[in-house]
Structure formats: C-alpha cells, structure tokens
C-alpha cells in the first residue's frame, strides 16, 4: 500500500495578518505545514510503522514555488519517504487540485490524504475536488483511520455520531479533528535523513484559477464588552436588550 | 436557475435544509431566476411540501437504492445528472460534513469556482462577488468567481430562515446511479435527544477555569434551562473532563450560535477561531484582563462557581415572570 499526503504551506497560526497592495504581506512570516496536513501525515506515518511493511511508502505532495521547500523538508524529517513539488504558486482550490490531478494521474497511490482546510484561505475544497478530477472515491469528515493489514478502516463523522467503513481503493480521505492528537515532532536523525530524501519537482501545467480574491479587509474593532456586576443584570440584558433568551 | 442542495436527514428536513433553501431564494432573486431544490433519497411528501414556504420553485426528489450508504461520488453523480437537465448557474450547499463532501466535487465537475463557508449574501451575481472569511477569521476577502457557474457553501446558522411562500412543483425521479464504493461496518449515533452542538442556538461552554469535571453540574443545569448545548475548550477535552465531541475551536468544532456563554475560558485565539461567528459572546471570568473580554459582548468579572447558581436562579425567575 502507498499513501500520499497533500500538504500546503501556510503562515504560522499565530501570525499577525497584514495586507500590502491588497496582497497578504509575507514580511517576517514563519511558514509551517498546514496543521491538518501535519496531523494527517502523523497518522499516515504511525500506520506505516505499525503495518509490518505492508504500507511501503508515505509520500507528500505540494503545489508551491521553490521557496516552500523548507516546509517540505520538515515533512521529510517527520518521516515521509519522498516528496513531489508541483512547481507553481497555488492560486485557488481548483487550479491546485487540477495541477495535483495532472501530476498524480500515473502514480498508483492507494490512499491520498488531504486536510479539512488550509489555514490561510480556508478553501475547504482541494481533497474532494482532486478525487473528482481523478475520478476516484472520496470520504470526507474522516476523524480516524486504521489499517487491518489489508485494507483501511475509515471512521467518519456523521450527524450526531460516527460510522466506520471501508472504501474501494484508490480513494481520497479528507481528514479533520480526531485523525491524530499531537503532531509528530522530527528528531535529529529524521532531520539528517531528510537532507538525502528526494523532492521530485514536477513542472506545472499552468491551470488558470476560477476565483480571485480582489480585496482584503481586517475585521472591524468590536464595541467594548458591557460588564455587569450581577447575574440578574446579565440575564435582564440578554432578555431585554439583546432579546436572545 | 440556482440549485439548492437540500439535505435529507434520514427522511426529515431540518433547519439546515430550510436555511439553504432561503439562501438560494435570495440569490435567485438577485439573479432574476428561480430555485431548483434537490433532495436525495426517500422522504415523505409532507416534509417536501414545507419547502414551498422557503422559495423553492421546483423540487426534484431523487430516489435510488444506491443512495445508501452516503457515498460522495454517487451523490455527486445524482446532483450532476439533475443539473445537466436544467440551466444551472449556481449551486449552493450548507457547509457541514455532507455539503463539504459533495460541493467541491460538483465544482470540479462543472469547472465552477467555489467559495466556501460564506456567512452572507453575494454583493453581486454578475460576476459573482462575495466576501468570505480568510486566515481563520483574521481577515475578510472579497472574492470574484470568474467561471460562468459558481458553487457556494454557506456557514450553517449564519443566514437563518426567511419565509418566501411560492408555488412549488414536485418531481420524483428514480435515477440509475453507480453502486456505492463504501461499505459501512459500524454505525454509532447519539440517540440521547441532546441538541447537536453545531445546530444549537445557545451554547454554554466551560474552560479550565471550571477547575474539574465535578464542577460541571451547574453549567449543565444552566444549559438545560436555556435549551442550550454544552461545549468546552480544548484542554478540558484533552484532560477528559468532557467528551471530545464538545471541544470547540480551530482544531475542534466551529459553531455559530446566537449566544455563546464562556465560563472560565481565557479566550485564546485558537479557541475564538471556533466561536467568533456567534452573534453574542457572553463571558464569565475571574480575570478582568482575560482576552475573552476583548471579543465578548457581555460579561461578568467573577468566579464562575459563584455566578452559575445565581444565573440559574435569575433564569428561573425570568421564566416565572414570563409565564
Ligand atoms: C495549534 C493549536 C490549536 C489549538 N486549538 C484549540 C481549539 O480548537 N480550542 C481550544 O479551546 N483551544 C485550542 N488550543 C489551545 C489554546 O491555545 C488554549 O490553550 C486553550 O484554549 C485554553 O483553554 P482554557 O481557556 O480553557 O484554559 P486557560 O487558558 O487555562 O484559561 C482558564 C481561564 O479561566 C479563568 N478562571 C480561573 N478560575 C476561574 C473561576 N473560578 N471563575 C472564572 N474564571 C476562572 C482564568 O482567568 C483563565 O482566563 C490550541 C492550541 C494550539 C497551539
Ligand atoms: N498548495 C497545495 N499543495 C498541496 N496540497 C494542498 C495545497 N493546498 C491545499 N492542499 C490540500 O488540501 C487541503 C484543503 O485545502 P484548501 O482546500 O485549500 O482549504 C489541505 O489541508 C491540503 O491537504
């Protein structure tokens, strides 16, 4: 079995977001593996380790320019075996998924893992979109993943609960909360080994995006909190002023 | 036409079903067109009939033995087949687990630009221009869709219900769909009758300031009195004080209730990421400088353990005077 984890390169989640000329201002920004993707990769690596060699490979793929390679190296340091970088700037979900589909169509991964969303533009789309473009199955809302030696057992969240299921491979799993609890932290050996692992650079097709973000705005400052002394005053305000209880 | 994907909750329609119909009706009005509602799977007629109150002009109910279990690829096929027989300019879905599983596939299928988790109506429909949150709520982006078709997913509870009674036609179609590739081996659904967190109008939440699981009684009673769901911060779930399903925030559930009560929650950015779409945030915290007060609308600086019983009394009193 072979697993591919899609990773996106995003600003550290504590970044103070600023814009310059209506573009995200990257000055001084630290770049990280998108948190969901880091958890997806963590789970993929755990499964490989427990699989007695039945999961032979965990690779990662990213659509990004060369400057994102340190983030890819971090994924290799965590333990991924190899990486693909599709050499273009990610523009929107569609063009990203289409570039990935083109680059992956002749690669035989059994499972492709994607995160729920990228923490920068919150597209919530690339995983399922890629499945459609490749014409393969997908499961979304995946909150757990096991491997029984032959097939993957997928846990997915549904209204008020969960289901465990199997899916015909190949398929895309879009993962969310529960897939892993804490991300794997690369150790010294991992970091050293990562230097020798391959990053295959694949030229992009130049797919045009379908959406464009033309203007950015920061949230307006909120009016200050109304502090009261007693529970009774609070309930009265919520009842008479906000009219919500 | 605007295609509204109306979720069928095991033979019933819920608020999310009517909300997406309402939203589609408003967009259709802007675009001078009509709403095509699509409901997949078996459902009684009296349920479908209700959609005429929310602006659905034409309703298609698709049945097929292959709609069980939920396989996003099969569902996409069903929606695409109906869309191909109608002139669809836009698709709208609720941004919940089911909507997110299908909407991107539809977008790819029709080469339609997708804008996800929006909380408002478009500013214009030609070209589709709409503002959405980016950087997990730290900014807003005005987004233009450049393709001739668009897909929008609407953040649940952000638009609400708008009654627009119309004459609605219902068409039932049995479709020939591919076999699902998914086999369910275990299903576990909470039948306690508790309100699901993502649907609740009022949410009462506790953080590490609650001190321990043994102190949750009053918080639960307060929630019960208000008909609210309960939630918690991440460390509380990590410690096992509360079930993991209650954890809200960037790495937990993202919710948009009318009122969010935060007891003993500091208001870390990752926590706020999950609750900032709430209409009102009410905080009780012992520390007047806790960051939660920067985002709260109302608050009390004080000990949650002392204030919760007083809140319970105040609500009881209010209920008595109202009845
Ligand atoms: C990548 C990442 C993702 C994360 N995702 C999430 C997430 O999804 N959700 C989440 O919640 N957190 C998340 N966190 C953790 C987050 O940073 C905070 O650590 C967490 O939200 C703090 O929880 P808390 O407010 O319950 O606890 P604390 O920060 O310990 O705050 C307790 C508060 O209770 C108050 N208090 C103490 N005693 C009382 C009393 N008697 N009465 C009233 N108030 C009292 C204190 O003044 C304090 O403000 C994430 C962190 C990281 C790094
Ligand atoms: N540029 C990218 N390269 C590779 N994978 C990506 C990229 N952007 C997004 N993804 C994957 O798609 C998921 C959802 O991203 P998005 O649709 O952008 O919110 C992410 O968690 C990644 O797994």
Q: List phi, psi (to 5°) of B263.
A: -105, 120
Which chain A residues have a beta carbon less than 8 Å from that of B148?
A: none
pLDDT at position A150:
95
> Ligand 1 centre from B200 Cα, in Å?
22
Per-residue pLDDT, B165: 97
Instruction: Give the distance from CA B218 to its chain's centroid.
Output: 27
Same domain, B79 and B220: no
Residue among B116, B270, B297 whose CB faces A226 most closely: B297
* B83 against B322, higher pLDDT: B83
Residues B95 and B218 in one domain: no
On the question of a cis peptide bond just before residue B69, with omega within 30 degrees of 0, the verdict is yes
> What's the pLDDT tens digit per position in B143-165?
999 999 999 999 998 899 999 99
Map out the domains of chain A as residue ranges: 2-219
Query: Does any domain span residue B273?
Result: yes
Q: Are residues B84 and B149 in the same domain?
A: yes
Q: Say how many C-beta atoms besides its own lie within 10 A of residue B97's C-beta.
A: 19
Residues B43 and B114 in one domain: yes
What's chain B's length in residues? 323
Contacts of B121 (CB under 8 A, 6+ apart): B23, B26, B27, B30, B130, B159
Q: How far is the CA of A175 from the centre of ligand 2 (A)?
A: 11
pLDDT value at residue B290:
98
Q: How far apart are CA A200 and CA A179, in angstroms?
A: 27
Domain presence at residue B291: yes
- Asked if B290 and B158 sit in the same domain, the reply is no
Q: pLDDT grade, residue B198 (50/70/90)?
A: confident
Looking at the fold, whether B260 and B126 belong to one and the same domain comes out as: no
Average pLDDT over residues A157-173: 95
pLDDT-based confidence at residue A181 (cuts at 50, 70, 90) = confident
Q: Residue B134's beta-bridge partner residues?
A: B139
Answer whether residue B151 is part of any domain.
yes
Digit-coded pLDDT (tens) for B4-17: 999 999 999 999 99
Q: Are B72 and B102 in contact (CB under 8 A)?
A: yes
Residue B127, number of CB atoms within 10 A of its CB: 15
Say whether pLDDT at A202 is over 70: yes
A30 in contact with B, Cβ within 8 Å? no
Whole-number average pLDDT of chain A: 96
Residue A130 to residue A124: CA distance in whole angstroms = 12
**B157 in the same domain as B9:** yes
Assess whether pLDDT exceeds 80 at residue A232: yes
A52-70, pLDDT tens digit by residue? 999 999 999 999 999 999 9
Distance from CA of A193 to the nearest CA of B (A): 30
Angle among Cα B59, B60, B66 to the nearest 5 degrees reads 150
3-state secondary structure of A225: coil
Is A40 within 8 Å of A114 (Cβ atoms)?
yes
Rounded-to-integer distance, Cα A107 and Cα A146, Å: 23
Q: Are residues B14 and B136 in the same domain?
A: yes
Domain match, B21 and B158 both: yes
Number of domains in chain B: 2
CB contact under 8 A, A122 and B73: no
**What's the mean pLDDT in B221-244?**
96
Rg of chain A on CA atoms, in Å: 21
Q: What is the pLDDT of residues B247-285, one digit of tens each?
A: 999 889 989 899 999 999 999 999 998 999 899 999 999
Phi-psi region of B187 (alpha: psi -120 to 50; beta: other; left: phi over 0): beta
Residues in a beta bridge with B61:
B39, B172
Please tell me the predicted confidence (pLDDT) of residue B137. Answer: 86
Asked, for residue B234, whether it belongs to a domain, the answer is yes
- Produce one character per residue of A124-151: b if its CB has 16 or more CB atoms within 10 Å, e if not: bbbbbbbbbbbebbbbbbbbbbebeeee
Which of B211, B106, B183, B191 is CA-nearest to residue B149?
B106
What's the confidence (pLDDT) of residue B238?
A: 95
Atom of ligand 2 nearest to the CA of A114: 23
Pocket test for ligand 1, best of B215, B218, B235, B255 (most atoms within 8 A of CB): B235
Same domain for B45 and B150, yes or no, is yes
State the angle between helix axes of B304-322 and B217-226 in degrees (0 to 180), rounded to the nearest 10. Answer: 30
Rounded percentage of chain B residues whose pLDDT exceeds 90: 90
Q: What is the CA(B288)–ligand 2 centre distance, in A?
A: 39
The average confidence (pLDDT) of chain B is 96
Architecture of A2-219 per CATH?
A: 3-Layer(aba) Sandwich (3.40)
Q: What is the mean pLDDT of residues B87-96?
A: 97
Find tokens 């983030």 and name the residue. Answer: A71
For residue B232, give its domain range. 202-322
The CATH number linked to B130 is: 3.40.50.620
Confidence band of B90 (pLDDT split at 50, 70, 90): very high
The residue of chain A nearest to residue B257, with distances taken between CA atoms, is A244
The arithmetic mean of pLDDT across residues B173-200, rounded, is: 90
Whether the CB-CB separation of A24 and A51 falls below 8 Å is answered with no
Count Cβ neighbours within 10 Å for each residue of A74-107 and write b for 16 or more, e otherwise: bbbbbbbbebbbbebebbbbbbbbbbbbbbbeee
Q: Nearest CA of chain B to the CA of A142: how many Å?
A: 10
- Tokens 């906000």: give the residue: A242
What CATH number does the domain containing B222 carry?
3.40.50.1220
Residue B87 shares a structural domain with residue B129: yes
Tell me which residues of chain A, numbers 49 to 78, contact chain B at a CB-CB cutoff of 8 Å: none
The answer to whether residues B154 and B118 touch, using CB atoms and an 8 Å cutoff, is yes
Contact B114 A125 (CB under 8 A): yes
Residue B323 is predicted with a pLDDT of: 67
Could you tell me if residue B266 is inside a domain?
A: yes
Same domain, B45 and B155: yes
| pLDDT tens-digit series, residues A94-142 | 999 999 999 999 999 999 999 999 999 999 999 999 999 999 999 999 9
* pLDDT at residue A94, rounded to an integer: 98
CA distances (Å), origin B234, targets A13, A206, B207, B271: 16, 41, 8, 8
Q: Identify the burial level of A19 via C-beta atoms within 10 angstroms of its C-beta, where 0-12 means exposed, 13-18 middle and 19 or more buried.
A: middle
């Amino acid at each position: 079995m072979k697993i591919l984890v899609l990773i996106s390169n995003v600003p550290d989640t504590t970044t103070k977001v600023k814009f310059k000329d209506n573009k995200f201002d990257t000055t001084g920004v630290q770049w990280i593996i998108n948190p969901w993707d880091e958890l997806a990769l963590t789970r993929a690596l755990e499964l490989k380790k427990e699989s007695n060699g039945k999961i032979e490979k965990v690779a990662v793929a990213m659509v990004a320019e060369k400057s994102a390679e340190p983030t890819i190296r971090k994924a290799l340091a965590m333990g991924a075996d190899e990486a693909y970088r599709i050499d273009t700037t990610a523009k929107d979900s569609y063009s990203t998924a289409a570039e990935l589909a083109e680059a992956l169509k002749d690669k035989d991964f059994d499972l492709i893992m994607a995160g729920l969303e990228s923490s920068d533009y919150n597209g919530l789309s690339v995983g399922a979109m890629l499945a459609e473009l490749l014409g393969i199955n997908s499961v979304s809302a995946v909150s757990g993943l096991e491997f029984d030696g032959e097939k993957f057992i997928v846990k997915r969240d549904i209204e008020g609960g969960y289901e465990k299921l199997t899916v015909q491979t190949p398929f895309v799993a879009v993962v969310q909360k529960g897939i892993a609890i804490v991300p794997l932290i690369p150790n010294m050996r991992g970091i050293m080994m990562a230097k020798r692992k391959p990053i295959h650079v694949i030229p992009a097709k130049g797919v045009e995006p379908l959406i464009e973000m033309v203007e950015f705005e920061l949230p307006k400052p909120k009016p200050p909190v109304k502090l009261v002394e007693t529970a009774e005053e609070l309930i009265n305000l919520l009842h008479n002023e906000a009219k919500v209880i | 036409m605007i295609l509204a994907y109306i979720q069928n909750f095991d033979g019933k329609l819920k608020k999310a079903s009517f909300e997406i119909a309402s939203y589609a009706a408003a967009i259709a009005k802007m675009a001078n067109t009509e709403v095509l509602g699509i409901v997949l799977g078996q459902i009684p007629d009296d349920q479908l009939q209700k959609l005429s109150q929310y602006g659905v002009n034409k309703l298609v109910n698709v049945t097929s033995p292959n709609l069980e279990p939920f396989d996003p690829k099969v569902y996409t096929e069903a929606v695409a087949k109906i869309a191909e027989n109608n002139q669809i300019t836009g698709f709208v879905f609720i941004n919940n687990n089911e909507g997110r599983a299908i909407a991107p596939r539809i977008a790819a299928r029709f080469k339609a630009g997708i804008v996800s988790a929006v909380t408002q109506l478009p500013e214009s429909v030609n070209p589709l221009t709409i503002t959405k949150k980016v950087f997990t709520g730290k900014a807003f982006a005005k987004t233009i869709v450049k393709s001739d078709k668009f897909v929008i997913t609407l953040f649940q509870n952000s638009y609400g219900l708008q009654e627009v009674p119309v004459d609605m036609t219902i068409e039932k179609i049995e479709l020939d769909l591919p076999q699902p590739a998914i086999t369910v081996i275990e299903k576990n659904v909470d039948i306690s009758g508790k309100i699901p967190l993502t649907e609740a109008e009022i949410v009462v939440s506790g953080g590490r300031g609650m001190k321990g699981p043994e102190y949750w009684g009053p918080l639960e009673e307060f929630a019960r009195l208000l008909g609210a769901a309960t939630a918690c911060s991440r460390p509380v779930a990590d410690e096992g004080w509360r079930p993991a399903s209650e954890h809200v925030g960037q790495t937990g559930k993202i919710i948009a209730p009318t009122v969010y009560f935060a007891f003993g929650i500091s208001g870390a950015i990752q926590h706020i990421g999950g609750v900032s779409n709430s209409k009102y945030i009410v905080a009780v915290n012992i520390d007047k400088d806790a960051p939660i007060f920067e985002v709260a609308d109302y608050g009390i600086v004080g000990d949650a353990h002392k204030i919760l019983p007083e809140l319970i009394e105040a609500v009881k009193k209010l209920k008595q005077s109202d009845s």
